């Protein structure tokens, strides 16, 4: 029997380990199971190169609970350890010494304290009052040994009996950690961290992992059904994905994985943090910001790379050139895949655009390299359901839709139902109105206008359509000067919360008698103000600026002018004005109540 002290240079190393080793205590299961996997993989390697005699037999890892003894055990059939190896690997905490360890990480975030010292085994002391290690080496003529420690620097190392090679770690759980005697608690942790480890893992006589997940295979080995089944394995309640990208790179960095494009029907369905990061099939985190470009955080799936530097808790990413390279590679792969689908099956691409559009627009705003590629496959759907690339839109509208500065005007709608009257007026004149009604469109329009210098986005209801386009012809109003002044007096009435600008124009007779519009720039500022931030509060307090355009050629104006009852004449004019405001959602509160009462009065006359 050997007795001694673990060779550390301070009595406080175990309290430090217990407090700072990991931010979440349940990670100890991941660390110990991962060590068991490493021991098993090493055995397979030694066997393959002839350095181990005999058959390796069944290779598996078993996790067991003993509620009576209050123990949680993790056993493998890997390479095991000799007495000398136990002394070397378990009795020397951090080969660089505890003082250097503490000095090096003094004052840093606790999540970054551990990272390069191989202390995963010591995570067991976060939950244990005592830890036993029973191990037998694969080497011939070696005896089994047991190492025991109660969390102090004191240990006991002695010979013991064990028939099979491998290592069993027995944790006598402390009072604060008895939750890990509950099968459901342990199963949850195993399924989170160990679901795809490459060695069969058994808990309660049931295998809980898939040792050969899809991303570890070559794309040529997988069918469509394989990819879809793996998605179900990751997200049991998720709807089938649109398509996927298989990552398989071994130079200049190692990266494997499968990224899925989910279906997104509504903006509220957007969910980030659905990509899982693994390191050699060990789950690390689902917070992959920095590795995956921001705009692709909406994707689902798995990425696995041993070249992403992590601290020992494997929970936080550190800055590294490889991370930037991986980020750029993922961006390129996604752009190439989207371009491939667009070129080879445009109909399918357009059918998926409701979901794809969010990714593409987000990427075009945040990544200039992606923008350059996306210009080829970015599409806009018009009010009739036809899709245009930007170049196609310009070709379809260049003779019709130019402003006075010669910029290409892109007419758009944010609400096809509410803005239907304006859309109909525009399309009747041959203009093309595209839909911009998703969560990111307001920001997207502001962003790409700065990048597409010869294009200007204008909402279809920001002015009467003939004002939006630089037209050489113009109609004159049939109203006399006196009639024009009378009409202007009737319509130019103050309204609470609105700043009205009334003008009378000679429009075609089939154009509505009164049109309410909001200037594009001011409306955008007000929309941004409603989302808060910056100058938003200032714009939010300003009254809505509304242009009220009276169609001087509409016959209803002659009817109003001919009305002898002055009170009724004012009511008729006011109702036309209010109907226009109502179509823009600008008639609210007392103004709306007055409109309803006035409409009833007119029907009673």
The CATH code of the domain that includes 304 is: 3.30.230.80
Assign 34 to helix, strand or coil. Answer: helix
pLDDT of residue 509: 74
Same-domain pairing of 132 and 72: yes
**Tokens of residue 192, six digits:** 């989170």
pLDDT of residue 585: 79
Enclosing H/E stretch for 204: none
Q: Which residues, other chains included, contact 241 with Cβ-Cβ below 8 Å and sequence gap of 6+?
A: 228, 231, 260, 261, 262, 263, 300
- Say if 475 falls within a structural domain: no
The residues with which 157 forms a beta bridge, in sequence order, are 2, 147
Assign 561 to helix, strand or coil. Answer: helix
Q: Which residues, other chains included, contact 86 with Cβ-Cβ below 8 Å and sequence gap of 6+?
A: 133, 135, 145, 147, 157
Between CA 477 and CA 488 the distance in angstroms is 13
Residue-wise pLDDT tens digits, 499-549: 888 888 877 777 788 888 877 777 777 666 665 555 545 555 666 788 888
pLDDT of residue 178: 96
- Say if 367 falls within a structural domain: no
Same-domain pairing of 385 and 314: no
Write down how long the chain is: 605
Domain region containing 510: 481-604
Same-domain pairing of 251 and 199: no
CATH assignment of the domain containing 12: 3.30.565.10
CATH assignment of the domain containing 423: 3.40.50.11260
Residue 553: count of CB within 10 angstroms of its CB: 21
Between CA 125 and CA 123 the distance in angstroms is 5
Pairing of the two strands 408-413 and 433-435: parallel
Between CA 262 and CA 355 the distance in angstroms is 7
Same-domain pairing of 8 and 125: yes
Same-domain pairing of 496 and 574: yes
Residue-wise pLDDT tens digits, 317-331: 545 677 888 888 999
- Say if 361 falls within a structural domain: no
Same-domain pairing of 499 and 567: yes
CB–CB of 154/177 below 8 Å? no
Listed residues 207, 229, 254: the one ending a domain: 207
Counting as low any pLDDT under 50, the low residues of the chain are 9-10, 94-102, 104-117, 268, 311-316, 318, 470-473, 536
Max Cα distance, the chain (Å): 119
CB–CB of 5/98 below 8 Å? no
- Say if 65 falls within a structural domain: yes
Total domains in the chain come to 4
Listed residues 424, 442, 468: the one ending a domain: 468
Taking only Cα atoms into account, the Rg of the chain, rounded to an integer number of angstroms, comes to: 35
Residue 244 phi/psi, 5-degree rounding, is -150, 165
Same-domain pairing of 463 and 485: no
pLDDT of residue 265: 64
CB–CB of 273/247 below 8 Å? no
Question: What are the start-end ranges of the H helices in 375-517?
Answer: 390-397, 420-428, 441-451, 465-468, 481-491
Residue 595: count of CB within 10 angstroms of its CB: 18
Packing angle of the helix pair 183-193, 27-48 (nearest 10 deg): 60
- Say if 356 falls within a structural domain: no
Same-domain pairing of 303 and 434: no
**Tokens of residue 20, six digits:** 């700072």
Listed residues 419, 435, 468: the one ending a domain: 468
Residue 302 phi/psi, 5-degree rounding, is -140, 140
Same-domain pairing of 164 and 185: yes
Same-domain pairing of 299 and 231: yes
CATH assignment of the domain containing 594: 1.20.120.790
- Say if 360 falls within a structural domain: no
pLDDT of residue 470: 47
Same-domain pairing of 9 and 67: yes
pLDDT of residue 108: 40
What is the arrangement of strands in the sheet containing 455-459, beginning at the earlier edge strand?
Answer: 433-435, 408-413, 455-459
pLDDT of residue 433: 93
Read off the pTM.
0.74
CB–CB of 387/471 below 8 Å? no
Among candidate residues 427, 424, 505, the one with its CA nearest the CA of residue 467:
505
CB–CB of 564/486 below 8 Å? no
Same-domain pairing of 85 and 117: yes
- Say if 363 falls within a structural domain: no
- Say if 349 falls within a structural domain: no
Between CA 241 and CA 550 the distance in angstroms is 51
């Amino acid at each position: 029997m050997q007795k001694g002290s673990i060779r550390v240079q301070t009595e406080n190393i175990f309290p430090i380990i217990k407090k700072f080793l990991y931010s979440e205590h349940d990670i100890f299961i991941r660390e110990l199971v991962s060590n068991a996997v490493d021991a098993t993989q090493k055995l397979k390697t030694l066997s393959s190169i002839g350095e181990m005699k005999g058959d390796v037999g069944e290779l598996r890892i078993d996790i067991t609970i003993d509620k009576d003894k209050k123990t949680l055990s993790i056993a493998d059939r890997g390479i095991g350890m000799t007495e000398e190896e136990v002394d070397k690997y378990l009795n020397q905490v951090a080969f660089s010494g505890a003082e250097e360890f503490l000095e090096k990480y003094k004052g840093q975030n606790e999540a970054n304290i551990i990272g390069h010292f191989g202390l995963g085994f010591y995570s067991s002391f976060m939950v244990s009052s005592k830890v036993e290690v029973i191990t037998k080496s694969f080497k011939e003529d070696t005896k089994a040994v047991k190492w025991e420690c109660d969390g102090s620097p004191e240990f006991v190392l002695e010979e013991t009996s064990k028939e099979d090679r491998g290592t069993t770690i027995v944790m006598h759980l402390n009072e604060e950690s008895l939750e890990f005697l509950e099968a459901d608690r342990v199963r949850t942790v195993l399924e989170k961290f160990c679901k795809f480890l490459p060695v069969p893992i058994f808990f309660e006589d049931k295998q809980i992992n898939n040792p050969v997940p899809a991303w570890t295979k070559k794309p040529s080995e997988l069918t469509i059904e394989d990819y879809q089944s793996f998605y179900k394995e990751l997200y049991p309640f998720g709807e089938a994905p649109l398509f996927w990208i298989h990552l398989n790179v071994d130079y200049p960095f190692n990266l494997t994985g499968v990224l899925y494009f989910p279906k997104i029907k509504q903006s509220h369905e957007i969910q980030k943090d659905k990509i899982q990061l693994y390191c050699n099939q060990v789950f690390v985190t689902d917070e992959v910001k920095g590795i995956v470009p921001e705009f692709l955080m909406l994707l689902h799936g798995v990425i696995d790379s041993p070249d992403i530097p992590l601290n020992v808790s494997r929970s936080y990413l550190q800055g590294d050139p490889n991370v930037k390279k991986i980020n750029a590679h993922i961006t390129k792969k996604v752009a190439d895949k989207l371009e491939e689908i667009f070129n080879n099956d445009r109909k399918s691409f357009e059918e998926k655009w409701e979901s794809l559009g969010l990714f593409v627009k987000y990427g075009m705003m945040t990544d200039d390299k992606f923008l350059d590629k996306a210009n080829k496959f970015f599409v806009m759907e018009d009010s009739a359901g036809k899709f245009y690339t930007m170049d196609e839109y310009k070709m379809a509208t260049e003779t019709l839709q130019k402003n006075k500065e010669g910029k290409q005007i892109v007419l758009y709608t944010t609400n096809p139902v509410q803005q239907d009257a304006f859309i109909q007026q525009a399309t009747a004149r041959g203009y093309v109105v595209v839909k911009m009604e998703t969560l990111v469109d307001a920001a997207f329009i502001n962003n790409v206008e700065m990048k597409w210098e010869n294009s200007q986005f204008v909402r279809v209801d920001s002015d009467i359509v003939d004002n939006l386009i630089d037209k050489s012809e113009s109609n004159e109003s049939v109203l006399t000067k006196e009639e024009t002044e009378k009409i202007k007096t009737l319509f130019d009435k103050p309204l609470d919360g609105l700043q009205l600008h009334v003008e009378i124009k000679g429009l075609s007779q089939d154009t509505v008698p009164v049109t309410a519009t909001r200037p594009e720039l001011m409306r955008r500022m007000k929309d941004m103000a409603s989302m808060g931030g910056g100058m938003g509060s200032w714009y939010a307090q300003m009254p809505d600026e509304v242009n009220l355009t009276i169609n001087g050629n509409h016959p209803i104006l002659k009817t109003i002018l001919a009305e002898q009852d002055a009170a009724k004449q004012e009511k008729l004019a006011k109702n036309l004005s209010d109907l226009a405001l109502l179509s823009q959602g600008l008639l609210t509160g007392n103004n709306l109540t007055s409109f309803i009462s006035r409409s009833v009065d007119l029907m009673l006359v």
